[in-house]
Amino acid sequence: MSRLLPLFLLFLAGCAAGDLGGGILPSGKMPLAKHSTPLADIVIAPDADENLRFAADELKLHLDKITGASFSIVSRPAEGRKSLRIAYNPKLAKQELGISFSSAGVALESGGFPEYAVWDFLRDYCGVSWLDPTDAGTIIPSAPNLSVKRKNRKDRPFAKGRNPGNMSVGRSFGGAYSPELWKRGSSGWTNYLHVAYPSAFTNKTFAAAEREIARRKNLFLRRMKAGGEISRACHSFYGWYDRFWNKSHPKFEQFRPDFFAKGYEKDNRPPQLCYSNPDVIKQAVADVRAYFDNGDKKGYQWGKDACCLEPMDNSSFCKCEKCVPQYRPELALLSSQQSDYWFRFVNAVAKEVAKTHPDKKVSTLAYYTHCGVPTFRLEPNVIVHYCFTCNRIPYAQRCARQEEQLRDWRAAYPDRPFGLWLYNTFPKEYAENSTRVNCFPGFFAHVLAGEYALLGALDISEHIYNCGFVDDYENYLSLRWMWNPREPLEWLESDYFSSYGKAAAPIREFYRIVEDRYCTRANYPTEMLMKTTHQTVELAWKVLGTPEVMRELGKLMAEAERLADTPQAKARVANWRAGIFDYMTAGAAASRNPPPPKPWP
């Protein structure tokens, strides 16, 4: 299904996730509980900080549910009990984790994120799975007599920053994670939340339930080890309108119309800056230096070691006599007509910043009209984050071109840190904002596997930013692969779909049909293959989701509901119906009398 899949298979050498050190100790297993009685205590320092205490609470919560026991959090273990010690270890890198066994018990450690070791211990030693943030999305085994294999390990993330779709990184995500297909505020969305999060609505108003759901989503992302270290890039110059154009703004400093793009005098404000203007370069240098000098007081929006430069999100660049000759319209098909122009500006700023801050970096995007590698060398202190805008539009030829551009960037700069933006919001985003009819879902697990294999092979690991997360299964895969792109899809697929119990087979077949319909290029007209054309209503429900396809999916949905044999399986099947099948059914019905589309930006 993806031409990158063979690369993925080649990339699996040494794919045992995280088994980087240690080995099996002679004693085999360490007992943690017997007949729901704890045989170990959770140990943290008396002066443990908030993160250590949170990690200890997470370990206790899950071990109590697994064993039916009540584990204690103490500063030293009781006589005769093993120690489950959670601590920082200065010998480990900030995001590196270590799990090590001894005669005293087990140490769960990290250089800066001790909760990472706890979550790996719970998942890989105790059998816990976090699949999604819903009530039925956490799988906790029952083991009153719990023993764990004595196997030491070390692990660290592939991607330094692992962002699930908003600008928060670290340990908080601000509740912006919204994986639902349904449009927020729709009746289908409201129904899905009630089906998927019933406990959140117990004796609560809808607003209070939403806050509780947001909290659970944030906790789910933490348990999947999203976040990490801030190292990102995005549009950085919008604040200049407040500082140098809008005289009434509280942040206004000085009216500098010369800073802004020429040729847009009829507009309320110019759409870009004039990046050839020496004064713009000088001001940008001053801003970057101030960022590094004052970041401790104002916060590091882009990270402690890199400050971002990126133009506004449009292609309306300056029309002055200095700027226009630098454009290369013949490279428009490669989205590179402003590559030399933009990266020349970045180089000018980066070169000056290096004189005063030699240990710092300037980050930027390869995006929109400046995707390609420039014809000259970038300064050594420049970090590029490539925007893989077509990663979820595998049928478009531009997707293949963007894969080649990724390879070109890595070939040009083989040893330089490199970041990435992924655009998992399509086709949902276009459906919500343009066609206004529910889309045919863009399931693409096998394509995604190939893409992460490519990212791993090219070591695109500085920061992976997802421009929105949509669909719980692909989100689960992405969160796992941002940490370790070598994990085989087959393992993760089995882990995810086994949660449906005896209903797993029809649910997997449902997914396979939708994925195959969406990803197979033969299903698309030539126009959509040649251009980055988004899914139309007619394509969604007359070509991909035909009545015959929908009838087959309906049969599989009914079969899954018949086979679901446990409360967990029944709940997950109900989530699939309310979140996916009902969404598709509503889209197919609306396609018979669609509203007029809205213009797409």
Q: What is the pLDDT of residue 230?
A: 86
Does residue 442 sit within a domain?
A: no
Q: What does the angle CA 205 – CA 65 – CA 191 come to, to the nearest 5 degrees?
A: 30
Does residue 130 sit within a domain?
A: yes
pLDDT at 16 over 80: no
CATH code of 132's domain: 3.30.379.10
- pLDDT tens-digit profile of 370-408? 999 999 999 999 999 999 999 999 988 889 999 999 999
Q: What is the mean pLDDT of residues 127-143?
A: 97
Does residue 108 sit within a domain?
A: yes
pLDDT at 10 over 50: no
Q: What is the mean pLDDT of residues 296-317?
A: 91
Does residue 274 sit within a domain?
A: no
Q: What is the pLDDT of residue 100?
A: 97
Q: What is the pLDDT of residue 27?
A: 57
Pairwise CA distance, residues 584 & 580, whole Å:
6
pLDDT at 189 over 80: yes
Preceding amide of 164 cis, omega within 30: no
pLDDT at 297 over 70: yes
- pLDDT tens-digit profile of 236-291? 999 999 999 999 999 999 999 999 999 999 999 999 999 999 999 999 999 999 99
- pLDDT tens-digit profile of 35-89? 999 999 999 999 999 999 999 999 999 999 999 999 999 999 999 999 999 999 9
- pLDDT tens-digit profile of 75-130? 999 999 999 999 999 999 999 999 999 999 999 999 999 999 999 999 999 999 99
Amino acid at 361: K
Does residue 544 sit within a domain?
A: no
Amino acid at 208: A
pLDDT at 453 over 80: yes
Q: What is the pLDDT of residue 158?
A: 97
pLDDT, mean over the chain: 92
296-308 CB burial, b ≥16 within 10 A, e <16: eeeebebbebbbb
Q: What is the pLDDT of residue 550?
A: 98
- Taking the alpha carbons at both ends of the chain, their separation in whole angstroms is 30
Does residue 143 sit within a domain?
A: yes
Q: What is the pLDDT of residue 232?
A: 86
Does residue 39 sit within a domain?
A: yes
pLDDT at 4 over 70: no
Q: Which domain holds residue 47?
A: 22-151
pLDDT at 204 over 90: no
% of residues, the chain, pLDDT over 70: 93
Q: What is the pLDDT of residue 530?
A: 73
Q: What is the mean pLDDT of residues 536-545?
A: 95
Pairwise CA distance, residues 444 & 390, whole Å:
12
Q: Which residues, at least 6 apart from 393, have a Cβ–Cβ distance to it below 8 Å? A: 399, 426, 427, 532, 534
Number of domains the chain is built from? 1
% of residues, the chain, pLDDT over 90: 85
Q: What is the pLDDT of residue 3?
A: 37
Does residue 580 sit within a domain?
A: no
Could you tell me if 190 and 126 are in contact, meaning their C-beta atoms sit under 8 angstroms apart? Answer: no
Q: What is the pLDDT of residue 531?
A: 67
User: What's the Cα-to-Cα distance from 118 to each of 83, 519, 587, rounded to whole Å?
Assistant: 13, 37, 42
**pLDDT class for 470, splitting at 50, 70, 90?**
confident
Q: Which residues, at least 6 apart from 266, have a Cβ–Cβ distance to it below 8 Å? A: none
**pLDDT class for 176, splitting at 50, 70, 90?**
low
The residue with greater pLDDT, 178 or 538, is: 538
Q: What is the mean pLDDT of residues 413-437?
A: 94
pTM here is: 0.92
Pairwise CA distance, residues 292 & 290, whole Å:
5
What are the beta bridge partners of residue 139?
A: 129
User: What's the Cα-to-Cα distance from 349 to each of 282, 357, 363, 469, rounded to whole Å?
Assistant: 8, 12, 11, 34
- pLDDT tens-digit profile of 563-598? 999 999 999 999 999 999 999 999 999 999 999 989
Residue linked to tokens 């993160």: 51
